[in-house]
Amino acid sequence: MLVAGDEDITQQLGAHKENKRSNTLLVMNYVLNALHSSRKVNIRSIYYQNVNAFKKQSNVEEILQRISHVLGIRRESLNVRASHKGLFLSSALSIQLCNGNVLNGSDSVANFIPTMEDIHQVDVSQVAFVLVVEKETVFSTLREIRFTCSSVHGPTILLTGKGYPDFATRDILSHLAKILPASIPFIALVDSDPHGLHIFFTYKFGSDRQSEQHRSSRCSRLMLLGLRCEEFDFLSIPPDQSLRLSDKDNSICSKMEQTLDLRQYSSRDDPCEGISLDNLRNEIKIMKSHNIKWEIEALYNASSSHIADTFYGKCLERYIDNKMSMYFDQQAVLRIGEGYESLLIAPEKTLNGISHLDTMNIGNENEDILLVSDCDEDELLLG
């Protein structure tokens, strides 16, 4: 039971310092008032009514996260919700809200992702794959070329959580994974750096402090399309587009390795899951050994700087479509018969292959990025 001023609760919330204690009690009062009046309160409104006390909105979010963690409930159960953050793009997706309104997806205009509590029904027509991108800038670039209807593979659904995703974005991704056939890939495009990989982990495994009530907010079938650390050299990207890993970066890598160790232990009876985790562990290992990180925007610098900005979207489109072509080709081969099972690399083998982007020729619009791979599907897309 949540009671403002309860010593046990405030101790569990780690509110030892006076300012943290007073801020925690302040947030608890807002929560109690919202629960007693059966109304919803916005995180931003809590912050702006007490700017001097909280200093920044993230402090309010941190306190709410601790409260929900201690009580073992979702933040939404406290009648507190965040402002809309995530975006979706696709004419193949429509969301019917509990209030009767309908969000009809578009291939040119983005929609905010509502919370699951506000969603009555999700309808999806036929799609080739679901793509999650880390950044809003990448999302906008793909929106400008209408990627969700221009991909060579057919209609797609595009999502972004604008960095570290909120529950609404993770919930809708998880829900889509439940209602769409297993044959439809769910893929992620993130920066080749510890933060990007950690964002992928958040979508796939859940957040570090996630309670059991939040376990539904994850998408275990999500695969990593890119960026891959070793692609930096294969794409001949200028060295000044990369940075060295910082101490904080290495700390994030260590935490992700711990997450994989825990997952490895809990999935020891599932060899397929073990292969998937080994792939992710190997990607972290390569990133640390190469000691570099680079962003998606660096792909643009693999081409001439005189190309118009509109090319950026085509650059991303080719990168994504060519990798997905390899994936679908591999899946087609695997479905032919048991005689092709040898294409799958044995679990005990170190999975350190990479999907090579050997050539990026931007002189002719009809010339695609050439992809060469001697890897199996698990190496192409880290599951």
* Contact partners, residue 204, CB within 8 Å, separation at least 6: 188, 218, 219, 220, 222
Q: Would you say residue 2 has pLDDT above 70? A: no
| Mean pLDDT for the chain overall | 77
Residue 352 has pLDDT above 60, yes or no: no
- Calculate the CA 228 to chain-centre distance: 15
Longest dimension (CA), the chain: 69
pLDDT at 305: 40
Q: pLDDT at position 265, please?
A: 64
Fold of 87-380: Dna Topoisomerase Vi A Subunit; Chain: A, domain 2 (3.40.1360)
In the predicted structure, residue 361 carries a pLDDT above the cut 60: no
Tens digits of per-residue pLDDT, 98-128? Answer: 999 999 999 999 999 998 888 999 999 999 9
- Comma-separated ranges of CATH 1.10.10.10 domains in the chain: 7-81
287: Cβ–Cβ under 8 A, 6 or more apart, which residues?
192, 193, 194, 197, 229, 245, 253, 293
Q: Which helix (H) or strand (E) holds 156?
A: strand 156-160
pTM exceeds 0.85, yes or no: no
Is residue 276 within 8 Å of residue 383, measured between CB atoms? yes
Residue 372 has, within 13 A of its CA and on its CB side, a CA count of 5
Q: So what's the pLDDT on residue 355?
A: 35
Counting residues of the chain whose pLDDT is more than 70, the rounded percentage is 74
CATH class of the domain at 7-81: mainly alpha
pLDDT digits (tens, 9 = 90+) for 188-224: 999 999 999 999 999 998 876 554 445 568 898 999 9
pLDDT of residue 357: 37
The predicted pLDDT at position 377 comes to 37
Q: What is the pLDDT of residue 93?
A: 96
**What pLDDT, on a 0 to 100 scale, did the predictor assign at position 346?**
26
AA identity, residue 35: L
- Which pLDDT tens digit goes with each residue over 30-53? 889 888 887 878 887 888 888 888
pLDDT of residue 252: 93
Pick the catalytic residue from 30, 47, 48, 265: 48
Distance CA(322)–CA(297), nearest Å, equals 18
**Residue 342 confidence (pLDDT) above 90:** no
Span of 60-64, 173-177, 324-328 with lowest mean pLDDT: 60-64
CA angle 218, 220, 225 (to 5 degrees): 105
| pLDDT value for 101 | 94
**Is 48 considered catalytic here?**
yes
Is the pLDDT at 343 greater than 60? The verdict is no
Mean pLDDT over 227-244 rounds to 84
pLDDT band at 178 (very low <50, low <70, confident <90, very high): very high
**Rounded (5°) CA angle 78-80-85:** 135
pLDDT confidence of residue 273: 54
CATH 3.40.1360.10 in the chain is located at 87-380
Say whether pLDDT at 74 is over 70.
yes
